[in-house]
Amino acid sequence: MIKKAVTTLAAPPPTGAYSQGIAGNGFFYTAGFGPQDPLTGALATSVGEQTRQVLRNIEAVLQSAGLTTDDVVKATVHLQDLERDFEEYNSSYSEFFKEPYPVRTTVGSQLRGILVEIDVVAALPKSR
């Protein structure tokens, strides 16, 4: 298998031993992104705004790989408080995807200082 790392300054840089995105075996995988603004490091306070920033970060990495959210086939979402935040997160999430929606898993997780983290898998065009 050949895998290729993709990086961009338009998304928060890795804070550990991982890549922002990896292309391999016909798919593109992103790291789990938090809601940090890549330029300022600022965090929004609501789960809706944090979800939007996370997805803007993911869009930046997808764009660096020549992809869009239309190419996403799977999303995994971690919410700090699943019961309290699901509806607001889901409303913001739906602004970034259209039917047919990617499959999705949303779970409650202990997150360090953030309300939401998301990673996605996108299908690469056949030409790659």
Q: What is the pLDDT of residues 94-104, one digit of tens each?
A: 999 999 999 99
Q: Which domains does the chain have, with CATH numbers?
A: 3-8+18-123 (3.30.1330.40)
- DSSP secondary structure letter of residue 102: P
Q: Name the pTM for this structure.
A: 0.95
- Given a contact cutoff of 8 angstroms between Cβ atoms, the answer to whether 84 and 116 are in contact is no
What integer is the mean pLDDT of 69-93?
Answer: 98
33-72: pLDDT as tens digits: 999 999 999 999 999 999 999 999 999 999 999 999 999 9
Alpha-carbon dihedral angle through residues 8, 13, 16, 20, given to the nearest 10 degrees? -30
- DSSP secondary structure letter of residue 33: B
How confident is residue 127, by pLDDT bands cut at 50, 70 and 90?
Answer: low
